[in-house]
Chains A and B, each alone.
Chain A
C-alpha cells in the first residue's frame, strides 16, 4: 500500500516546499512508495486519519490529531536530521 504523507507549513508555500524536497529524497532512499501532498497547517484536519504521516514546520498538539505528526525543521536547518529520519522510518515501516 502506498503511504500518504502530508507536508505542511503556514502558507503551504515556502518552508513546506523546502521540507518536501528532503522528504522526497529520503523516502526514495527508504524504498517506500509514497504519495506526498503539500498543504497549509490549517488544512490538516481534512487529511487527519486518512494520511499516514504529517510532517510540519511547527510543533502541533498530537492529541488533536489521529495521524502521527513529526516536526520537519531538521530538514530545513540540517540539524538532527538523523533523529527525524529514524522517526519517519518507524512510522512508515510500521
Chain B
C-alpha cells in the first residue's frame, strides 16, 4: 500500500516550505518510515534541485530525497489550503504549488512501478481534475488509494 489514509492530508495550511517539510518529517518519523537525517536531506534536495511542476491545471511539487533516508515505500499526499512558493524544476522560477506528492522511495524495483504511476497521474487530466475537486479528506484519500493501491492491470 503506497497510500495510507494517515499520510493523506487535506486542506493543510503552511506558511513556508520549511514548515511543510518539518510536518512531513514529523509524520514520517513518528511512523518510523524515515531516518533522522531525512528532515534535513529533503530540504537540501529541494533547495539544490527544485521539484515544482506546472501542469495545465494544477501546480505540483514532487518532493523526495535519496533512498538511504527511507525505510519503506510510501507516498505522502497533501492538498494545500493555500499555495506555497516552490521553484519550477525546469526554469527555476518561482511557482505557487497547490498539491504535494512526497516520494518515499526505497526499493529500486518498486520505484519504477510507483514512479510510472506518478508519471501517469501527472498526465491524466481526469484525475488532476478530480484532485482539484476533492473537497474532503475522505474523498482525497479514496481517490488516491484507488489510483495508487490497485493492481497494475486495473489502471
Which A residues form the contact surface with B (CB < 8 A)?
9-11, 13-15, 17-18, 21-22, 41, 57-59, 71, 73, 76-79
Which B residues form the contact surface with A (CB < 8 A)?
45, 48-49, 51, 53-56, 62, 64-67, 89-92, 103, 105, 111-112, 115-116, 118-119, 122-123
A57 touches which of B45, B64, B90 (Cβ 8 Å): B90
Question: What's the nearest-Cβ distance from chain A to residue B120, in Å?
Answer: 9
Question: What's the nearest-Cβ distance from chain B to residue A79, in Å?
Answer: 6
A73 in contact with B90 given A11-B45, A13-B66 (CB within 8 Å): yes
Contact between chains at A14 and B56 (CB < 8 Å)? no
Contact between chains at A41 and B53 (CB < 8 Å)? no
Chain B residues with Cβ under 8 A from A11's Cβ?
45, 49, 64-66
Contact between chains at A13 and B64 (CB < 8 Å)? yes
Closest to B124 in A: A78
Chain B residues with Cβ under 8 A from A15's Cβ?
51, 62, 89
* Apart from A13-B64, A18-B119: 6 A-B pairs, beta carbons within 8 A: A11-B45, A11-B66, A14-B64, A14-B103, A15-B51, A22-B119
Contact between chains at A76 and B45 (CB < 8 Å)? no
Chain B residues with Cβ under 8 A from A57's Cβ?
49, 89-90
Contact between chains at B92 and A58 (CB < 8 Å)? yes
A41 in contact with B49 given A13-B67, A14-B105, A78-B122 (CB within 8 Å): yes
| Bound CA–CA A78/B123 (angstroms) | 5
Contact between chains at A21 and B66 (CB < 8 Å)? no
Chain B residues with Cβ under 8 A from A17's Cβ?
111-112, 115
| Bound CA–CA A54/B10 (angstroms) | 38
Contact between chains at B45 and A10 (CB < 8 Å)? yes
Question: What's the nearest-Cβ distance from chain A to residue B114, in Å?
Answer: 10
Count chain A CB atoms within 10 A of each CB in B67, B89, B118, B122 and give the residue with the most: B89
| Bound CA–CA A10/B66 (angstroms) | 10
Chain B residues with Cβ under 8 A from A78's Cβ?
55, 122-123
Contact between chains at A58 and B89 (CB < 8 Å)? yes
Closest to A71 in B: B90
